[in-house]
C-alpha cells in the first residue's frame, strides 16, 4: 500500500504542471500618492533634465530614496557606441551603492520625458530590473518602485515583483 502511495506521488510530481505567476501593482492618481512618494516621483522627473540622450531623445530620470532620507538621482547617459550608454536606474543605483554602500535603498522612482512630455508610466528595462533586484537583495529589504506618469503612478511593492522567476544570488550558492 505504502509502495503504491509512493509510486503515485512520484507520478503526480512529474506530470506537466501549469502555474500562473501574478504580480500586483497599485495605480494611483498622482495627487493621491503620499507626500513623500510624490516628492520622490518629482525628483525622478526633475532628473530627466540631466539626461544625455542625443540619440533616442528619450530622457529618463530615477530617484533612489535611502533609508536615512537621502535621495540619490540619476539619468540615462547615452553613447554613440550604443551599448556603452547606461539607463537612469542603473546610474542612480550604482551611484548610491558607491557613495552610501551601507545604507539600504527603500524606494526608487522612475520617470521619462520625450518630445517635451512625460511618458505615462515608464517601465524599467530587463537589465535594470536585474540591478533593482540585486539592490533589494543586497540590503535584504523590499524596495518600493514608483513608475511615474503625469496622470497615474504605478507602484510595485518590491523589485522582485517585477522580475518573476528571477536569477539571483541564491542561484550561485
**Residues in touch with ligand THU (CB under 6 A):** 53, 56, 58, 60, 76, 78, 85, 87-89, 124-125, 128
Taking the complex as a whole, the smallest distance from the CB of residue 83 to ligand THU amounts, in Å, to 10
Cβ 28 vs Cβ 153: under 8 Å? yes
Q: Which helix (H) or strand (E) holds 38?
A: helix 35-47
Nearer to ligand THU, 23 or 68 (CB): 23
Three-class secondary structure of residue 111 per DSSP: strand
Helices (H) and strands (E) in the chain, counts: 4, 7
Nearer to ligand THU, 87 or 163 (CB): 87
Catalytic residue list contains 32:
no
The one catalytic residue in 78, 89, 136, 160 is: 89
Taking the complex as a whole, the smallest distance from the CB of residue 79 to ligand THU amounts, in Å, to 9
Taking the complex as a whole, the smallest distance from the CB of residue 137 to ligand THU amounts, in Å, to 19
Nearer to ligand THU, 9 or 55 (CB): 55
Q: CB under 8 Å, gap of 24 or more: what pairs does 123-130 form?
A: 123/147, 123/154, 124/87, 124/89, 124/162, 125/87, 127/87, 127/90, 128/87, 128/89, 128/90, 129/159, 129/162, 129/163, 130/163, 130/166, 130/167
**Rounded-to-integer distance, Cα 79 and Cα 13, Å:** 50
Nearer to ligand THU, 67 or 130 (CB): 130
Taking the complex as a whole, the smallest distance from the CB of residue 56 to ligand THU amounts, in Å, to 4
Catalytic residues: 89
Amino acid at each position: 500500500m505504502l509502495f503504491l502511495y509512493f509510486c503515485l506521488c512520484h507520478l503526480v510530481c512529474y506530470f506537466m504542471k501549469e502555474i500562473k505567476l501574478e504580480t500586483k501593482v497599485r495605480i494611483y492618481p498622482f495627487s493621491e500618492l503620499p507626500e513623500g512618494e510624490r516628492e520622490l516621483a518629482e525628483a525622478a522627473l526633475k532628473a530627466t533634465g540631466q539626461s544625455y540622450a542625443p540619440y533616442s531623445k528619450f530622457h529618463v530620470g530615477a530617484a533612489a530614496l535611502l533609508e536615512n532620507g537621502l535621495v540619490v538621482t540619476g539619468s540615462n547617459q547615452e553613447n554613440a557606441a550604443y551599448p556603452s550608454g547606461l539607463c537612469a536606474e542603473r546610474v542612480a543605483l550604482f551611484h548610491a551603492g558607491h557613495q552610501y554602500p551601507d545604507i539600504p535603498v527603500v524606494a526608487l522612482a522612475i520617470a521619462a520625458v520625450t518630445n517635451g512630455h512625460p511618458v505615462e508610466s515608464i517601465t524599467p528595462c530587463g537589465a535594470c530590473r536585474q540591478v533593482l533586484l540585486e539592490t533589494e537583495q543586497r540590503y535584504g529589504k523590499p524596495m518600493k518602485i514608483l513608475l511615474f506618469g503625469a496622470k497615474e503612478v504605478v507602484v510595485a511593492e518590491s523589485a522582485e515583483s517585477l522580475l518573476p522567476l528571477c536569477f539571483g544570488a541564491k542561484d550561485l550558492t
